[in-house]
């Protein structure tokens, strides 16, 4: 009796292994920490409608996602920046053809402590602060206290985006390299002279700024208006200088289950999930790029 | 005959296990060495110890690979944690082994084991939301993500090791020693500090070294609690980035087989040598001490 059940068990085990290999209904997504919650919400909604599909979403940073794609250990990479030339070369060396889909827009938020009187900064001032050229809040109209910098570590897409577009040099060595958006938010909440940058999904809930944070209005340059990312119209109209696209990268044009999932993300329903998660729907200009990359 | 054969086989089995452990150690050392060699050759070993900055993904492309700030940060956090954990740990061990009633022991010992099993991310998180603000308030700093915070996190993680091993050492002191001491008119405090602790010093020393080994290589808790600013620390109130934190943060993202990748292995190699030296030193001291006994 015992032996029979053992044989049955073994047979069951192997049949499960085999069937798992045949139906490739598992989608593995890894990468950007900014996108984890957003894509997690996409995945949950999609799995509710398609119970036969399993989607797993993990973080680690955009760079981690891209190395996963290059090593073929995942199906989709969450990347909150553009793929770099080096990464493209590496991917091609391994026969991987990264293809880009924009899934939502993020307005990178610059946050401070509510006790800090500074409400508005220009892009250049933010760059000076994170480069370490401005080290006192008094220089930008605040109190006389030293500025404490909170940011991400180097495998973060947010780190790279911010460095390329705002700092335009190396970050100050004094900037704390936090291991995730949530840690930056916690850090800034408890530090009255802090400044940090995080994805808007971490600073806004239901159209209101998270308690304990102050959201800085940003001007593209001196003399231009200061714009808050709180108003979705500002982002949609391209007025907020730190709006950026969030991506899925796949190996080649997505096929099969992957394509169906991406269609869902780009549908009206999917884009509403993005809005509910605190991000913004993609605009006409990015829809155009998506159509091109998806071959539609 | 049968028994002899069995004894023989069992002996061989244990020998095999011993050899496997040594082989694993050698293998790790070799992997570290071969993977860091390309970086040592192309960057030069002196760059690692003379350059002030660690900036392997520089904006303009002028990468720098100085690890001195990381070594000093690691040593600061480790020794800071020992300053907190050793007195606490030895005192707690002495209480457990010499003073506590069986009832108290039966609560404290399991509690200690639970403390040891708390995942390091949880301790790191406590560092951010509890100890950080507490340190900031106490020392009137803008934030508490600094070397002291890392030291506290590591002290918590090293405490169970130090306490349980020190307690074992104290309990293994023969009862006659205590009885003789008490019989000579010493009180319990004098017996503890002048007889029991000195008699078990080698064991306590080993406990501290093992705790330190745990602390020096711990990653997640320090990564979260110390703030990770790569600058050379100026005091215990500076945000620091330790060697383990650098490897943990950057190895996930680094393109394989590049200079940066191999440079991370150099950090690993230096860390390995540091822990090896700590263990070697403790071993030598232990042996010398035992001989004097």
A173 touching B (Cβ < 8 Å): yes
A80 touching B (Cβ < 8 Å): no
Residue to test with chain B: of A137, A153, A164, A178, most B Cβ within 10 A? A153
Gap between the Cα atoms of B161 and A22, Å rounded = 48
In contact, B188 and B100? CB cutoff 8 Å: no
Residue found under tokens 């001291």: B285
pLDDT of A118 reads 93
In contact, A101 and A262? CB cutoff 8 Å: yes
A182 touching B (Cβ < 8 Å): no
A11 pLDDT tier (thresholds 50, 70, 90): low
All structural domains of chain A: 2-105+246-294 (3.40.190.10), 109-236 (3.40.190.10)
In tens, the pLDDT along B220-231 reads 899 889 988 888
Tokens linked to A129: 């602060």
Q: How far is A176 from chain B (nearest CA, A)?
A: 4
* Sign of the CA dihedral with A120 first, then A121, A126, and A128 last: negative
The mean pLDDT of A127-146, rounded to a whole number, is 93
DSSP code per residue over B6-43? HHHHHHHHHHHHHHHHHHHHHHHHHHHHHHHHHHHHHH
Q: How far is A15 from chain B (nearest CA, A)?
A: 35
Q: Which residues of B touch A174 (CB under 8 A)?
A: 229, 231, 239
Nearest residue in A to B141, CA atom = A191
In tens, the pLDDT along B105-144 reads 999 989 998 998 999 999 998 998 899 889 989 998 888 8
A231 touching B (Cβ < 8 Å): no
In tens, the pLDDT along A210-219 reads 889 999 999 9
pLDDT of A20 reads 46
pLDDT higher than threshold 90 for residue B71: yes
CB B249 to CB A179 under 8 A?
Answer: yes
Q: Which residues of B touch A64 (CB under 8 A)?
A: 252-253
Gap between the Cα atoms of B197 and A287, Å rounded = 74
pLDDT higher than threshold 50 for residue A107: yes
Residue to test with chain B: of A86, A148, A159, A172, most B Cβ within 10 A? A148
Q: How many CB pairs under 8 A join A and B?
A: 86
CB B252 to CB A192 under 8 A?
Answer: no
In tens, the pLDDT along B27-60 reads 999 999 999 999 999 988 888 998 878 888 888 7
CB A179 to CB B55 under 8 A?
Answer: no
Q: Which residues of A touch B224 (CB under 8 A)?
A: 179, 183
Tokens linked to B190: 């004098």
Greatest alpha-carbon span in chain B? 76
Gap between the Cα atoms of A89 and B64, Å rounded = 23
Contacts of B9 (CB under 8 A, 6+ apart): none
ipTM for the whole complex: 0.73
Residue to test with chain A: of B52, B59, B69, B70, most A Cβ within 10 A? B59
Nearest residue in B to A86, CA atom = B255
Nearest to B78 by CA among B264, B284, B278, B285: B278
In contact, B154 and B74? CB cutoff 8 Å: no
Nearest residue in B to A155, CA atom = B253
pLDDT higher than threshold 50 for residue A22: no
pLDDT of A45 reads 94
Least confident of A37-46, B204-213, B246-255: B246-255
The residue count of chain A comes to: 296
In tens, the pLDDT along A140-163 reads 989 999 999 999 887 788 888 899
CB A193 to CB B142 under 8 A?
Answer: yes
* Sign of the CA dihedral with B112 first, then B117, B122, and B123 last: positive
Gap between the Cα atoms of B77 and B65, Å rounded = 21
């Amino acid at each position: 009796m015992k032996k029979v059940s053992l044989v049955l068990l073994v047979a069951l085990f192997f049949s499960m292994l085999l069937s798992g290999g045949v139906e490739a209904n598992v989608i593995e997504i890894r990468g950007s920490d900014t996108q984890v919650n957003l894509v997690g919400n996409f995945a949950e909604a999609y799995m509710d409608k398609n119970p036969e599909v399993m989607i797993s979403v993990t973080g680690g940073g955009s760079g981690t996602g891209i190395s996963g794609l290059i090593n073929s250990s995942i199906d989709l990479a969450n990347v909150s920046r553009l793929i770099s030339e080096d990464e493209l070369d590496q991917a091609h060396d391994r026969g991987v053809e990264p293809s880009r889909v924009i899934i939502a827009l993020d307005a990178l938020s610059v946050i401070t402590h509510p006790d800090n009187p500074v409400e508005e900064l220009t892009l250049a001032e933010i760059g000076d602060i994170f480069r370490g050229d401005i080290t006192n809040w008094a220089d930008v109209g605040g109190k006389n206290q030293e500025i404490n910098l909170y940011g991400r570590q180097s495998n973060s897409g947010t780190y790279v985006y911010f460095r390329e577009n705002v700092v335009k040099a190396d970050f100050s060595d004094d900037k704390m390299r936090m291991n995730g958006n949530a840690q930056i938010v916690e850090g800034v909440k408890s530090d009255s002279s802090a400044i940090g940058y995080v994805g808007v999904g971490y600073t806004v809930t239901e159209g209101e700024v998270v308690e304990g944070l102050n959201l800085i209005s940003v001007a593209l340059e001196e003399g231009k208006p200061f714009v808050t990312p709180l108003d979705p119209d500002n982002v949609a109209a391209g007025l907020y200088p730190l709006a950026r696209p969030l991506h899925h990268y796949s190996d080649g044009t997505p096929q099969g289950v992957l394509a169906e999932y991406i269609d869902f993300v780009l549908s009206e329903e999917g884009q509403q999930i993005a809005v509910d998660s605190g991000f913004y729907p993609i605009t006409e200009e990015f829809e155009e790029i998506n159509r091109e990359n998806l071959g539609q | 005959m049968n028994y002899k054969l069995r004894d023989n086989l069992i002996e061989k089995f244990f020998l095999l296990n011993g050899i496997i452990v040594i082989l694993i150690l050698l293998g790790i050392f070799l992997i570290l060495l071969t993977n860091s060699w390309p970086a040592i050759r192309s960057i030069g070993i002196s760059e690692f110890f003379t350059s002030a900055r660690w900036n392997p993904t520089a904006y303009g492309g002028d990468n720098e690979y100085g690890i001195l700030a990381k070594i000093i940060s690691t040593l600061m956090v480790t020794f800071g944690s020992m300053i907190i954990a050793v007195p606490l740990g030895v005192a707690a061990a002495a209480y457990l082994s010499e003073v506590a009633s069986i009832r108290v022991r039966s609560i404290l010992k399991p509690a200690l084991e639970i403390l040891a099993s708390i995942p390091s991310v949880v301790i790191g998180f406590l560092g951010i939301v509890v100890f950080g603000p507490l340190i900031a308030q106490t020392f009137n700093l803008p934030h508490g993500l600094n070397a002291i915070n890392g030291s506290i996190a590591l002290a918590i993680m090293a405490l169970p090791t130090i306490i349980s091993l020190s307690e074992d050492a104290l309990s293994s002191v023969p009862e006659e020693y205590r009885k003789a001491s008490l019989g000579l008119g010493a009180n319990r405090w004098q017996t503890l500090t002048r007889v029991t602790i000195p008699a078990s010093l080698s064991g306590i020393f080993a406990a501290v070294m093992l705790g330190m080994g745990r602390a020096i290589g711990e990653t997640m808790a320090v990564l979260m609690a110390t703030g990770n600013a790569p600058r050379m620390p100026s005091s215990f109130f500076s945000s620091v980035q330790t060697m383990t934190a650098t490897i943990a943060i950057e190895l996930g993202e680094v393109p394989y087989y590049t200079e940066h990748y191999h440079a991370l292995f150099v950090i690993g190699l230096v860390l390995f040598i540091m822990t090896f030296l700590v263990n070697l030193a403790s071993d030598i001291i232990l042996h010398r001490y035992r001989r004097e006994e």
